[in-house]
């Protein structure tokens, strides 16, 4: 082999090795949602809810009707939901986000409502039962909340919202059912 051919061969071989190393270091593309995130798919879509609110720290009791629409945010890691409805306290609106925190290994809820509330909760799922717990101040006092959802079919679920002053003794604040429309 001549010097010139040897140099060309060496340059080509070096280029191949460097190219292979650079390609191996390239990310495989944007991250993809894992199986925990995909479990939230059960809440995607348009829902109609009917519930009975009990009189308590959330206001007077009575019937509540709501409509909720949840859709995937860009990247498919979080569901963004918008809700509107009416009940004993009049009309209301809220927006919230549901997602999986891989760092904390827990589902997270972050929401705002037209009554000025800002809330956060963490969630777990066991089979068809989702349990969300949080603690927020109301009237200067810490109020614990627990929101339990039981998925009864692919197009319906029941829910119960409970409150507690100490996180141990729970009182039902609302119960109801949502159906996919």
Verify that 110 and 176 share a domain, yes or no.
yes
DSSP SS3 for 18: helix
Strand bridging mode 141-153 / 90-101: unpaired
Asked whether residue 26 falls in the same domain as residue 83, the answer is no
pTM: 0.81
Lowest mean pLDDT segment, chosen from 8-17, 25-34, 159-168:
8-17
136/75 Cα distance (integer angstroms): 30
Q: Are residue 126 and residue 60 in the same domain, yes or no?
A: yes
* pLDDT tens-digit readout, 90-120: 999 999 999 999 999 999 999 999 989 899 9
What was the pLDDT predicted at 60? 85
107 in the same domain as 65? yes
Which residue segment(s) compose the domain that 9 sits in? 1-30
Q: Convert the pLDDT of each residue in 115-134 to its tens digit.
A: 898 999 999 999 999 999 99
Q: What is the pLDDT of residues 29-59, one digit of tens each?
A: 889 999 999 999 999 999 999 999 998 766 7
CATH number of the domain encompassing residue 171: 2.40.128.20
At residue 174, does pLDDT exceed 70?
A: yes
Give residue 43's pLDDT.
98
**25 & 42 share domain:** no
The answer to whether residues 120 and 173 belong to one domain is: yes
Check whether residue 18 and residue 51 sit in a common domain: no
Question: Which of 70, 49, 79 lies closest to 161, judged by CA?
Answer: 49
Residues 64-92: pLDDT tens digits?
Answer: 999 999 999 999 999 999 999 999 889 99
How many domains are contained in the chain?
2
CA distances from 18 to 11, 13, 24, 26, 28 (A): 10, 9, 10, 13, 18
Same domain, yes or no, for 83 and 149? yes
């Amino acid at each position: 082999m001549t010097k010139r051919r040897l140099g060309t061969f060496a340059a080509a071989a070096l280029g191949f090795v460097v190219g292979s190393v650079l390609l191996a270091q390239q990310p495989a593309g944007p991250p993809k949602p894992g199986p925990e995130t995909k479990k939230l798919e059960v809440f995607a879509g348009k829902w109609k809810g009917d519930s009975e609110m009990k009189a308590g720290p959330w206001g007077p009791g009575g019937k509540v009707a709501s409509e909720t629409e949840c859709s995937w945010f860009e990247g498919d890691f979080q569901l963004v939901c918008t809700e509107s409805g009416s009940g004993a306290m009049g009309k209301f609106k809220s927006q919230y986000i549901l997602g999986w925190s891989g760092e904390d290994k827990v589902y997270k809820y972050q929401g705002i409502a037209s009554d000025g509330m800002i809330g956060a909760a963490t969630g777990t799922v066991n089979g068809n039962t989702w349990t969300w717990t949080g603690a927020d101040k109301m009237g200067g006092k810490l109020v614990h909340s627990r929101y339990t959802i039981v998925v009864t079919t692919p197009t319906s679920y029941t829910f119960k919202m409970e409150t507690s002053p100490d996180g141990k003794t729970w009182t039902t604040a609302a119960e109801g059912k949502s159906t996919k429309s």
